[in-house]
Structure 1
Amino acid sequence: MTALVIGADYLGAIEQKMRARGITEIAHIKGRNPGEIKKVNIPKAAAFVLVFTDYVNHNIAKVVKDHAKARSVPLVYAKRSWSAVEHKLAGLGL
């Protein structure tokens, strides 16, 4: 399973815990710099997009939302903590 993660400078232990839940590929965009809007490209195999709300530029969040909606990919917003991410992934059935 593939996921796109937007926000945070590094994922830390969240990446390992996501892999333990069966997410084999994680594409990551830091999302702080306005120039990264051009880098936003949801992988074709992406099962969902995770946006860390406390570490992302507002314009990038809007672009990601529009891309995810156009491709019908589930979009999940969470704070950068494993408990928040785990709760949101459980809502997706993961």
Structure 2
Amino acid sequence: MTVLIVGGDYIASLKQKITAHGYARIEHWNGRKKGFNKRALPGRTELVVII
């Protein structure tokens, strides 16, 4: 189960809360680079958080 967080600079506390809900893998894309809009979602992504 993967969670993708898009945006945000300081997400440590958000990562802790998501991990407490049982999600094993958390990936963070800061969204500042042009190449991010062409990336594919990580495998088994169940939740996308946009900040």
> What is the TM-score with the length of structure 1 in the denominator?
0.47
Higher share in strand: 2
Higher share in helix: 1
> What is the TM-score with the length of structure 2 in the denominator?
0.78
RMSD, aligned CA = 1.7
How far apart in 2 are the matches of 1:9 and 1:36? 18
Which moves more between the two structures, 1-10 or 34-43? 34-43
Higher-Rg structure is 1
How far apart in 1 are the matches of 2:9 and 2:35? 13
**In the TM superposition, what is the alpha-carbon distance from 1:37 to its structure 2 partner?**
2.6
Q: Unaligned 5+ residue runs, structure 2?
A: none
Q: Unaligned 5+ residue runs, structure 1?
A: 53-94
* Count of residues paired in the alignment: 51
Higher relative contact order (CA 8 A, sep 6+): 2
